[in-house]
Amino acid sequence: MLFPCRLDEQISSESPVRLINQVVDQLDITPVMETYEGGGTTSYHPRMMLKVLFYGYMNNIYSCRKIEKAMQENIHYMWLSAQQYPDFRTINNFRSQRLKDTINSLFTQVVLLLVEMGYISLKEVYIDGTKIEAKANRYTFVWRKSVEKNKAKLEAKIKDILSQVEEGIYSDNQETDEVPVPINSEELKERITAINRENRSKGS
pLDDT at 80: 93
Domain membership of residue 133 (yes or no) is yes
Cα separation, 33 vs 39, whole angstroms:
6
Write the DSSP assignment of 134-191 as a string of letters.
Answer: ---STTPPP-SS---S-HHHHHHHHHHHHHHHHHHHHHHHHPPPPPPPPP-HHHHHHH
- Vertex 164, ends 27 and 108: CA angle to 5°? 25
Q: Quote the pTM value.
A: 0.70
pLDDT at 179: 60
Domain membership of residue 132 (yes or no) is yes
| Percent helix, percent strand, percent coil in the chain, to nearest 5 | 60, 5, 40
Domain of 44 in residue numbering reads as 7-152+165-174
Total structural domains within the chain: 1
Domain membership of residue 100 (yes or no) is yes
Tens-digit pLDDT profile for residues 54-67: 999 888 888 888 99
Domain membership of residue 66 (yes or no) is yes
